[in-house]
Structure 1
């Protein structure tokens, strides 16, 4: 197994996880006035993201790599788009919910692609697959709510 491919893939996932954390910081508390039952799920997602980040950094370091603790360009552009959109339309709980679902779907896609490429060592594959299951679970909760608000 090529260690550099594993480290590169893990760094890509670290960037995606950092996008997720940054995106969560955009969710304003007023959303929870409407979606009160999801507040605990959201808080759990934030904690899970921090744990995922720590696990990825650990895996990268154990393989002799240097963690790239930045975000992706696509994530930064998406967050900027959200800011611009909200400045014109006002912050709406529904659009915030849509953005959470969009971000979770993008993270799931990136994790699935990382697993499918086969560049991860066995230990990293287990951790990434577990993290993917957490992403799918949170996505499902928010996607179901989004469908019910349409």
Structure 2
């Protein structure tokens, strides 16, 4: 059981690391200081979430994941390509951030379907709720930016 939990937590660590890198890229691309601050904060939240998951993996005797996934790298590359093609508009950047949060929602939903010890489930559930808040905030900002263009 511990091996299965370690794999699940390492998968979520990859998700968090991908989010961190994606939000850092978004912070670099945006021209809006408010969005830059938001993206930097979200990147920090993702990094903290990854560190929390890595600590649990270590506690369970596993080897913590330290980087993002290939799929995440592809997504980040697509973010950069899309931003370059669309002139790096903030609306386009927000759309890509929302897409990334959709992936995180999916990954956390799947993780919560698995049998987990209560203490680990509580951590995953709390992080999932953060993903939902991020997603909703990014979507609302995206809608606001779409309406203003």
Q: TM-score range by the shorter chain?
A: 0.7 to 0.9
2:90/2:145 contact within 8 Å kept: no
CA contact (8 A) 1:20 1:103 kept: yes
Counterpart among 123, 133, 147 of residue 129 in structure 2: 133
Name the Cα RMSD after superposition.
Answer: 1.8
CA offset at residue 73 of structure 1? 1.8
Q: Which runs of 5+ in 1 are unaligned?
A: none
Question: How far apart, CA to CA, are the structure 2 residues paired with 1:22 and 1:102?
Answer: 14
After TM superposition, give the deviation of residue 14 of structure 1 in Å. 0.4
Q: Does 1:12 find its partner at 2:8?
A: no
Establish whether residue 94 from structure 1 lines up as the match of residue 69 from structure 2.
no
Report how far residue 50 of structure 1 moved. Answer: 1.7
Q: Deviations over 1:3-42 (max 9, x none)?
A: 1110000000001111001101211456252x73x45443
Question: Structure 2: which 5+ runs fail to align?
Answer: none
1:142 offset after TM fit, Å?
A: 1.2
Counterpart among 136, 143, 149 of residue 145 in structure 2: 149
**Higher relative contact order by CA 8 Å / sep ≥ 6: 1 or 2?**
1
Q: Name the CA distance, whole Å, in 2 between partners of 1:138 and 1:85.
A: 21
Task: Tell me the TM-score normalized by structure 1.
Answer: 0.87
What secondary structure does 1:90 align onto?
coil
Q: Distance in 1 between matches of 2:42 and 2:84?
A: 26
**Structure 1 runs, 4 residues or longer, greater than 4 Å off:** none
- Separation in structure 1 between the aligned mates of residue 78 and residue 37 of structure 2, nearest angstrom: 27
- Partner SS, residue 61 of structure 2: coil
